Amino acid sequence: MTDNKYKMVGNVPSDISVVRFATVRAQEIVALTKMIENPQTTKLIFQKLPCHMRRRAMSHNPNRMPRLLREAHKSQMAKSGPALKPKRPRRKYRRRPSRLLEEYKKRSSKMSWLETHLWHAKRFHMTAKWGYRLPEKSCARGHRFCHRSVAEHCLLVDISYLCCIEIQGPQNAIIPELAPLCDPKTGPTFGASSFLNGTREGRVTIFQRNSFSRGPIGLVTFLWRHGETPDMRTLWIWCHPAFYEQFLVELNSSYGSNSDSLIEQTKIKITLNKGKLNRFRLRGPFAHSVISNLLDKEIRKVFIASQSPGFVAGVDVRDPRMILPQSRVKEHTSMPSQCETVITSRSRLWDASVRDQIAQVRTSFPDYVVNGRRSQLLVPGSELPLQPEEIPIPLLIVNASHESSDFVPGCDVIFPAGWATAFWLALIYSGGHAGGLKDVESMNFEYQICSDLCLEVDSNAGKTAAAEQKVKLMEDYFRKPPKTRTNFIKLATPFPFSIDWNRLLIDWGYQVEQGFTVLRDKKLLNTLSLNNQNLLSELTFSYPQLVAVTIRLKHGSPRDFSMICLPKMDDKFNSPINEPIHQDPGAKERKILRQQHSSQLKTLAKKRKESRSSDDKVKDFCSDAVIAIHKEKMRSLWLPPSCNLKTSYVRPVIGFVTKGDFGLSEGKGIGRGYIVIRSVPQISASLVLVRNPGTSLYMWAEIALC
Partner 1 sequence: MVRFKNRYFTAEIIPLDNGHTVQPLNLKTYDILKSVLATTEQIHGEFGAAAIKNGLDVKYCNESTQIAIIRCRHGPHRLLASSLPFLSSIGKRKVQLQSMYTGATLVKCYKFLKKFHQEKMNEALKMCRTEEEKKKIFEIMSKTKYGL
Binder of partner 1 out of 22, 78, 128, 530 (CB under 8 A):
22
Q: Which stretch binds partner 1 (CB under 8 A): 27-35, 333-341, 479-487, 528-536?
A: 27-35
The partner residues of 702 in beta bridges, in order of sequence, read: 552, 687
Among residues 27 and 172, whose Cβ is nearest to partner 1? 27
Q: Which stretch binds partner 1 (CB under 8 A): 28-36, 82-90, 106-114, 275-283?
A: 28-36
| Residue 311 DSSP code | B
Least gap, CB of 4 to partner 1 (angstroms): 12
Q: Which stretch binds partner 1 (CB under 8 A): 13-21, 231-239, 251-259, 619-627?
A: 13-21
Among residues 41 and 229, whose Cβ is nearest to partner 1? 41
Contact string 317-356 vs partner 1 (x = CB under 8 A) = ----------------------------------------
CA angle 39, 43, 46 (to 5 degrees): 120
Footprint on residues 33-72 left by partner 1 (CB under 8 A)? 33-36, 39
Distances (CA, A) of 352 to 160, 200, 415: 18, 21, 12
Among residues 23 and 108, whose Cβ is nearest to partner 1? 23
Could you give the CA distance from residue 437 to residue 447 in angstroms, rounded to a whole number? 15
Among residues 28 and 231, whose Cβ is nearest to partner 1? 28
Does residue 27 interact with partner 1 by CB under 8 A? yes
The string of DSSP letters for 464-496 reads: HHHHHHHHHHHHHHHHS-GGGS--TTTTT-S-S
Q: Which stretch binds partner 1 (CB under 8 A): 8-16, 99-107, 538-546, 676-684?
A: 8-16
Least gap, CB of 56 to partner 1 (angstroms): 19
Q: Which stretch binds partner 1 (CB under 8 A): 29-37, 95-103, 168-176, 538-546?
A: 29-37
Least gap, CB of 18 to partner 1 (angstroms): 5
Query: Exposed/middle/buried for 390, CB within 10 Å: 0-12, 13-18, 19+?
Result: middle
Least gap, CB of 48 to partner 1 (angstroms): 16
CB contact set of 418 (below 8 Å; sequence gap of 6+): 115, 358, 359, 362, 363
CB contact set of 160 (below 8 Å; sequence gap of 6+): 114, 115, 116, 277, 278, 279, 280, 420
Q: Which stretch binds partner 1 (CB under 8 A): 4-12, 73-81, 111-119, 259-267?
A: 4-12
Could you give the CA distance from residue 459 to residue 518 in angstroms, rounded to a whole number? 10
Q: How many CB atoms lie within 10 A of CB 69?
A: 17
Binder of partner 1 out of 32, 100, 262, 512 (CB under 8 A):
32
Binder of partner 1 out of 12, 305, 473, 639 (CB under 8 A):
12
Phi-psi region of 463 (alpha: psi -120 to 50; beta: other; left: phi over 0): alpha
Least gap, CB of 109 to partner 1 (angstroms): 54
Footprint on residues 179-208 left by partner 1 (CB under 8 A)? none
| Residue 633 DSSP code | H
Binder of partner 1 out of 4, 13, 67, 583 (CB under 8 A):
13
Q: Which stretch binds partner 1 (CB under 8 A): 23-31, 331-339, 520-528, 542-550?
A: 23-31
Footprint on residues 672-691 left by partner 1 (CB under 8 A)? none
Least gap, CB of 26 to partner 1 (angstroms): 5
Does residue 172 interact with partner 1 by CB under 8 A? no
Parallel/antiparallel/unpaired status of strands 155-158 and 433-434? parallel
Does residue 26 interact with partner 1 by CB under 8 A? yes
Question: What is the chain's Cα-based Rg?
Answer: 37
Among residues 5 and 94, whose Cβ is nearest to partner 1? 5
Helix, strand, coil shares, percent, the chain, to 5: 40, 20, 40
Could you give the CA distance from residue 523 to residue 541 in angstroms, rounded to a whole number? 15
Among residues 20 and 330, whose Cβ is nearest to partner 1? 20
Among residues 21 and 662, whose Cβ is nearest to partner 1? 21
Q: Name the helix (H) or strand (E) containing 410.
A: strand 410-416
Letter for the amino acid at 698? Y
Q: Three-state SS across 331-366? A: CCCCCCCCCCCCCCCCCHHHCHHHHHHHHHHHHHCC
Least gap, CB of 43 to partner 1 (angstroms): 12
Binder of partner 1 out of 4, 18, 534, 667 (CB under 8 A):
18
- Max intra-chain CA distance, the chain: 140
Least gap, CB of 58 to partner 1 (angstroms): 20
Could you give the CA distance from residue 42 to residue 614 in angstroms, rounded to a whole number? 38
Among residues 37 and 538, whose Cβ is nearest to partner 1? 37
Does residue 19 interact with partner 1 by CB under 8 A? yes
Least gap, CB of 3 to partner 1 (angstroms): 8
Least gap, CB of 5 to partner 1 (angstroms): 7
Could you give the CA distance from residue 144 to residue 153 in angstroms, rounded to a whole number? 13
Least gap, CB of 80 to partner 1 (angstroms): 21
| Residue 335 DSSP code | P
Among residues 22 and 467, whose Cβ is nearest to partner 1? 22
Parallel/antiparallel/unpaired status of strands 124-129 and 132-138? antiparallel
Least gap, CB of 31 to partner 1 (angstroms): 9
Could you give the CA distance from residue 235 to residue 190 in angstroms, rounded to a whole number? 9
How big is the chain, counted in residues? 706
Least gap, CB of 62 to partner 1 (angstroms): 25
Q: Which stretch binds partner 1 (CB under 8 A): 31-39, 542-550, 643-651, 680-688?
A: 31-39
Least gap, CB of 44 to partner 1 (angstroms): 14
Among residues 1 and 569, whose Cβ is nearest to partner 1? 1
Among residues 32 and 629, whose Cβ is nearest to partner 1? 32
Footprint on residues 74-93 left by partner 1 (CB under 8 A)? none
Contact string 585-624 vs partner 1 (x = CB under 8 A) = ----------------------------------------
Does residue 1 interact with partner 1 by CB under 8 A? no
**How many residues touch partner 1 (CB under 8 A)?**
25
Distances (CA, A) of 195 to 115, 172, 189, 305, 439: 30, 15, 9, 19, 29
Q: Which stretch binds partner 1 (CB under 8 A): 19-27, 158-166, 285-293, 465-473?
A: 19-27
Q: Which stretch binds partner 1 (CB under 8 A): 3-11, 106-114, 406-414, 659-667?
A: 3-11
CB 611 within 8 A of CB 617: yes
CB 349 within 8 A of CB 316: no
HSE-CB for 95 with a 13 A CA cutoff: 3
Among residues 14 and 644, whose Cβ is nearest to partner 1? 14
Could you give the CA distance from residue 114 to residue 127 in angstroms, rounded to a whole number? 12
Could you give the CA distance from residue 188 to residue 194 in angstroms, rounded to a whole number? 9
Q: How many CB atoms lie within 10 A of CB 35?
A: 10
CB contact set of 327 (below 8 Å; sequence gap of 6+): 381, 429
Binder of partner 1 out of 4, 11, 57, 135 (CB under 8 A):
11
Letter for the amino acid at 60? H
CA angle 585, 586, 590 (to 5 degrees): 140
CA dihedral 591, 594, 600, 606 (to 10 degrees): -110
Q: Which residues bind partner 1 (CB under 8 A)?
A: 5, 9, 11-15, 18-19, 21-30, 32-36, 39
